[in-house]
Amino acid sequence: MGKGWGRSAAAGLVVAAWAAGASADSRIIDSPNADPLGHATARWEIGAGPEGSVLSFFHLGVFDRVHFGLSYGLQEVLGSGPIDANPHVGFQAQVLVLDQQPLPTLALGFDSQGHGRWDEAAARYERKSLGFYGVASHHVAASTWPLLTTLSGGINYSLEGERESMDFFAGLAEEVGGHFGLLLDYDFGFDDREDADRGWLDLGLQWRFDGGSHVRFLLRDLLGNGSDGGEVGRELNFFYLFHL
Q: Check if CATH label 3.40.50.720 holds for domain 2-243.
A: no
Which segments of the chain are extended strands (E)?
A: 41-49, 53-61, 66-75, 84-85, 90-98, 105-111, 115-119, 124-127, 131-141, 147-157, 167-176, 180-187, 200-208, 214-220, 233-243
Question: What is the spatial distance between Cα 215 and Cα 229, in angstroms, rounded to a whole number?
Answer: 28
pLDDT at 51: 83
Rg (CA), the chain: 18
Question: What is the spatial distance between Cα 66 and Cα 72, in angstroms, rounded to a whole number?
Answer: 21
Q: What is the mean pLDDT of the chain?
A: 86
| Most confident among 1-5, 98-102, 113-117, 184-188 (mean pLDDT) | 184-188
In this prediction, residue 151 has a pLDDT band, given cuts at 50, 70 and 90, of very high
In this prediction, residue 12 has a pLDDT band, given cuts at 50, 70 and 90, of very low
pLDDT at 113: 96
Full-prediction pTM beyond 0.75? yes
Tell whether the model's pLDDT for residue 229 goes beyond 70: no
What pLDDT, in 10s, does the model give residues 33-59? Answer: 999 998 999 999 999 998 889 999 999
Tell whether the model's pLDDT for residue 21 goes beyond 70: no
Tell whether the model's pLDDT for residue 145 goes beyond 90: no
Cβ partners under 8 Å of residue 20, min gap 6: none
Collapsing DSSP states into helix, strand and coil, what is residue 218? strand
Domain spans, the chain: 2-243
Q: What is the mean pLDDT of residues 149-169?
A: 91
pLDDT at 141: 86
pLDDT at 18: 41
Q: What is the mean pLDDT of residues 79-93?
A: 90
